[in-house]
Amino acid sequence: MSQQLYVYGASGHGKVVIEIIEALGKKVVTIFDDDESISQLLEYPVLPKDKAHPDKNIPVLFAIGNNETRKNLAESNGFLVTEPLIHPSAIVSPRATLKSGTVVMPGAIINSQAEVGHHCIINSGAVVEHDCLLSDYVHISPNAALAGDVKVGEGTQIGIGAQVIQGINIGKWCTIGAGAVIIKDVPDGVTVVGNPGREV
Ligand SMILES: CC(=O)SCCNC(=O)CCNC(=O)[C@H](O)C(C)(C)COP(=O)(O)OP(=O)(O)OC[C@H]1O[C@@H](n2cnc3c(N)ncnc32)[C@H](O)[C@@H]1OP(=O)(O)O
């Protein structure tokens, strides 16, 4: 895996990504952001991509919390995408598979034969149990937990502290609210809150 990385997105999420890169002993070369008013993130300079002439051989991590924005950026930029970045304190089964552009935050757990797509965020302390199947651009927020064999469609966010019982199918581009408890399947494109989860 490359020892040098770009980070795209000078956000709070970007700060956590930078600290993962540092914890892995790799080097952040530059942070990119389309907002020209941002010049620095932590100790790193922030540059608009068009002014930076990025090296096509240095991979990027798109550090954007919003799933749709992250997808649009990833699909419109010709960057080399980084292999998954996994914080050293996370526990990832050797039988789990993670695709490029995905980041696993401190303390997260991904268990046996789980599959995680491209450009996903498995946030701090989240649990993705055995045999779960996560499509691209999914965000599992801090401390959320998916029991075994849960499927999550593209672009869905599971909110902070939410819990999903085993075998549930959650559709594409859904939002599961903070602390929700999901005990039945969720169709595409809806927001579900509460315990038990109800559509709003
Ligand atoms: C490191 C990081 O920071 S990662 C980021 C993690 N962030 C999250 O997990 C955020 C998750 N987001 C939420 O929970 C939000 O409240 C959402 C997306 C579910 C709803 O947001 P909005 O669309 O703005 O809905 P709104 O606030 O208008 O609420 C709609 C209704 O749902 C209720 N509601 C909203 N969120 C929740 C929730 N988490 N649990 C229970 N009820 C909720 C509201 O009280 C309201 O009810 P009412 O119509 O009876 O008054």
Q: Is residue 67 helix, strand or coil? A: helix
Residues 52-88: pLDDT tens digits?
778 889 999 999 999 999 999 999 988 999 999 999 9
Q: Which CATH superfamily is domain 83-192 in?
A: Hexapeptide repeat proteins (2.160.10.10)
Band (95; pLDDT cuts 50, 70, 90): very high
What's the pLDDT tens digit per position in 12-61? 999 999 999 999 999 999 999 999 999 999 999 999 987 777 888 999 99
Domains 4-76 and 83-192 alike in fold: no
Give mean pLDDT, residues 182-190: 98
- Residue 133 near residue 147, CB atoms below 8 Å: no
Category of 9 on φ-ψ map: left (φ > 0), alpha (ψ -120 to 50) or beta: left
Q: Is the CB of 177 under 6 A from ligand 1?
A: yes
Q: Distance between alpha carbon 17 and the CA centroid of its chain, in Å? A: 10
- The C-alpha atoms of residue 178 and residue 159 are separated, in whole angstroms, by 4
- pLDDT digits 0-9 by tens, 115-171: 999 999 999 999 999 999 999 999 999 999 999 999 999 999 999 999 999 999 999
Concerning whether 130 is annotated as a catalytic residue, the answer is: yes
Q: Give percent helix, percent strand, percent coil of the chain, each to the nearest 5.
A: 10, 30, 55
Is 11 near ligand 1, meaning CB less than 6 Å away? Answer: no
Is there a binding annotation on residue 2? no
What pLDDT is stored for residue 150 in this prediction?
A: 99
* Residue 126 CA to ligand 1 centre (angstroms): 19
CATH 3.40.50.20 fits 4-76, yes or no: yes
Is 87 annotated for ligand binding?
no
Question: Quick one: pLDDT band at residue 1, thresholds 50, 70, 90?
Answer: low
Instruction: Say yes or no: CB of residue 159 within 6 Å of ligand 1.
Output: yes
Residue nearest to atom 50 of ligand 1 (CA): 200
In angstroms, rounded to a whole number, what is the distance separating the alpha carbons of residues 27 and 18?
9
Taking CA atoms, 52 is separated from 21, 43, 101, in Å, by 20, 18, 21
**ipTM tops the 0.90 cut:** yes
Q: Please work out whether the CB of residue 91 comes within 6 Å of at least one atom of ligand 1.
A: no
Please indicate if the annotation marks 139 as binding a ligand: yes
Res 77: pLDDT: 81
The domain ranges of the chain are 4-76, 83-192
Of all atoms in ligand 1, which is nearest to the CA of residue 65? 4
Q: Is 118 annotated as a binding residue?
A: no
- The predicted pLDDT at position 52 comes to 73
Instruction: For strands 139-140 and 157-158, give the pairing.
Output: parallel
pTM of the predicted structure, to 2 decimals? 0.97
Which atom number of ligand 1 is nearest to the Cα of residue 161?
9
Mean pLDDT within 85-112: 98
Instruction: Confirm or reject: Cβ of 66 under 6 Å from ligand 1.
Output: no
